[in-house]
Amino acid sequence: MTVAISQKNGNKVELLVSDDGAGIDMARVKSAAQKLGLMVQEQLDHIDEQEVLSLTFHSGVSTSPIITDISGRGLGLAIVREKVEKLGGVISLETSPDIGTTFHIVLPLTLTTFRGVLVQAADHLFVLPMTQVESVVRINKADIKTVENRQTLLLNGQAVSLVRLDEALELSRKRAPDAAVDGVPVVVLAAAEKRIAFLVEAVLGEQEVLVKRLGPQLPRVRNIAGATVLGTGQVIPVLNVADVLKSAVRASAAAVSSGAAPAEREEAGQKSVLVVEDSITTRMLLKKLLEAAG
């Protein structure tokens, strides 16, 4: 096994952990994901190699046929990803059969302050870490296309999924969006090989922010990495980009399957289940099992 560390793009550090083993068995990863209910067979047949590898970071996914004291539970990589994302970094991996596997961990050099983009969605303010903001653009109504019932945007010759930030965060809007309005701001976020464009009400600027953790009472809040205090004294949530990307995928899939707006689905009597457990990995595993059961 080899470990290499290098500086990347001036404000990031990259940690490479490589081995010369047998590589990751894609078929076993798909089988484990299917058993957990993360995806059905039809979905697994149409995802690419990178998407299959991303499944290895889900809690409970393991390619080991047996459970020992140190492996087989599918918790190790889930814990690694949790810790990396908590530090504001991203993790990805590459693998080749009979050649080996390499993990890429990219972390910010400074963990106390960072440049953030201040945006507004559903009349709320949020901060997005600049390191994971790929671009900020202004689009017109004609730029939005519909592919397989999902809104997409063509950026630099590539189709990128388009999701409203307030819908990804499950926020209720006080007023209906004006579909006829042109020149609306879009923030493109990228993490772990995923790119999604988010429609926001306004982009208010970029500034240096000091992140405050939520404390031991709230060790894990979905979509929120912490909070910061603006010069006006206003407390603003700092978004966890990796979480927001996952929430956007869920919101998009839910909209396609139901064809209903979030408010309509809520009125239909959808219930919520509260899972209480001191281990984040166990909570995530229980969450997946409950979601798989409907």
CA neighbor of 103 nearest in space, from 112, 113, 93, 95: 93
Q: Sort 39 into a burial class: Cβ within 10 Å, 0-12 / 13-18 / 19+.
A: middle
Residues 6 or more apart from 170 whose CB is under 8 A from it? 247, 251, 262
- Give the model's pLDDT for residue 178: 56
Say which CATH class 2-108 falls into.
alpha beta
Question: At the fourth CATH level, which superfamily is domain 113-254?
Answer: CheA-289, Domain 4 (2.40.50.180)
Instruction: Decide: pTM greater than 0.75.
Output: no
Q: What is the mean pLDDT of each run of 10 residues along the chain (294 residues)?
A: 82 88 90 87 86 89 84 87 83 91 85 82 92 90 81 85 92 64 84 86 90 77 88 90 88 65 50 83 83 77
The domain segmentation of the chain, as residue ranges, is: 2-108, 113-254, 258-292
Same fold, 2-108 and 113-254: no
